[in-house]
Amino acid sequence: MITCEQRIKNIAVPNHPVDVVLDTDAYNEIDDQFAIAYLLKSGDRLQTKAIYAAPLFNGRSESPKDGMERSYDEIQKLLGLMKEDYPVYRGSENYLSDEKTPVISEAAKDLAERANAYSPENPLYVIAIGAITNVASAILLNPAVTENTVVVWLGGHALHMSHTKEFNMYQDVAAARVVALSGVPFVQLPCAGVVGAFTVSKPELLYWLKGRNDLADYLAQNTIDEADSYAEGKPWTRCIWDVTAVAWLLNDNDRFMHSRLIHTPIPTYDNRYADNLDGHLMQYVYYINRDALMEDLFLKLTDA
């Protein structure tokens, strides 16, 4: 079993290249695409081993399965734009029915098996930026995932918010509870109240990205089209918060964000957190240095 000392070490920002898998609902909005590109453009530090398509169910999909399939296709589309080739696995077709039964998928099985090649001293980093069903299922399939990985999840809202009814969390509260209670080394980037500060504007996209390369063009235009569709001619900024989950692994000397150790709070089914003062320590991000991270993102996206 992983020791408390090793867990604290593992939830510190790594100071050397690490292996990473990404779990993403890439079709949900326009920010997952930025996160995927940022991850792959950071290959000197983050060595991507696989990408998983996460389920999603909202106005952009007909069911969790349909959302997962559309996310799978969006991942492949982005890899094509980048002329990159990585293993991509289809994820869960539904959410957890309870906290004991995994949803079997290619993604969950791959993570459950892949974790066996790692150890607490040499963990696999799991960046999750969607409903955390695939990761929870992998934990239920193979408890070694809780010792041999570090989970970095963008989900829930800040502790000071009145509720935690955030899309990644409320889609599958059971999965969030499985992860929180599992003891896996865990980093949380809360949405509203913290990483919601990571927004980009139309003038910035036009100035920094438009016309630089096919990838930058796609990311800029996709964001502008989405925001213009609801802004109706008014000024806007668009949150691209999924980038911050990748950035946590690059956060040398707190250059992009600040975090602190807390006891892992437990998500509840009424969209709150329950205190768990006897729980494992986790890393809780509470501040984003927006301009420093945006600069690094733009530089990498426009690098030939």
State the Cα–Cα distance between residues 178 and 133, nearest whole angstrom: 9
* Residue in 61, 85, 62, 65 with CA at minimum distance from that of residue 75: 85
**pLDDT at residue 225 is higher than 70:** yes
pLDDT at 129: 98
**pLDDT at residue 65 is higher than 90:** yes
Percent with pLDDT over 70 in the chain:
100
Local structure of 230: helix, strand or coil: helix
Paired residues of 250 in beta bridges? none
| Residues 6 or more apart in contact with residue 282 via CB below 8 angstroms | 11, 185, 186, 187, 188, 261, 262, 263, 264
Q: What band does 255 get if pLDDT is binned at 50, 70 and 90?
A: very high
State the Cα–Cα distance between residues 75 and 89, nearest whole angstrom: 10
Say if domain 4-198+240-285 classifies as CATH 3.90.245.10: yes
Judged by average pLDDT, the poorest of 2-6, 118-122, 149-153 is 2-6
State the Cα–Cα distance between residues 244 and 170, nearest whole angstrom: 20
**pLDDT at residue 147 is higher than 70:** yes
**pLDDT at residue 304 is higher than 70:** no
**pLDDT at residue 277 is higher than 90:** no
Q: What band does 278 get if pLDDT is binned at 50, 70 and 90?
A: confident
* Residue in 202, 242, 207, 243 with CA at minimum distance from that of residue 223: 202
Percent with pLDDT over 90 in the chain:
95
pLDDT per residue over 20-45, tens digit each?
999 999 999 999 999 999 999 999 99
pLDDT per residue over 42-54, tens digit each?
999 999 999 999 9
pTM of the model as a whole:
0.97
Mean pLDDT within 230-248: 95
* Residue in 93, 69, 236 with CA at minimum distance from that of residue 172: 93
Q: What band does 233 get if pLDDT is binned at 50, 70 and 90?
A: confident
State the Cα–Cα distance between residues 90 and 249, nearest whole angstrom: 24
Boundaries of every domain in the chain = 4-198+240-285
**pLDDT at residue 152 is higher than 70:** yes
pLDDT at 146: 98
Q: For the chain, what is the mean pLDDT? A: 97
Mean pLDDT within 262-280: 94
Judged by average pLDDT, the poorest of 25-29, 147-151, 274-278 is 274-278
State the Cα–Cα distance between residues 34 and 221, nearest whole angstrom: 12
Paired residues of 263 in beta bridges? 281
State the Cα–Cα distance between residues 70 and 174, nearest whole angstrom: 23
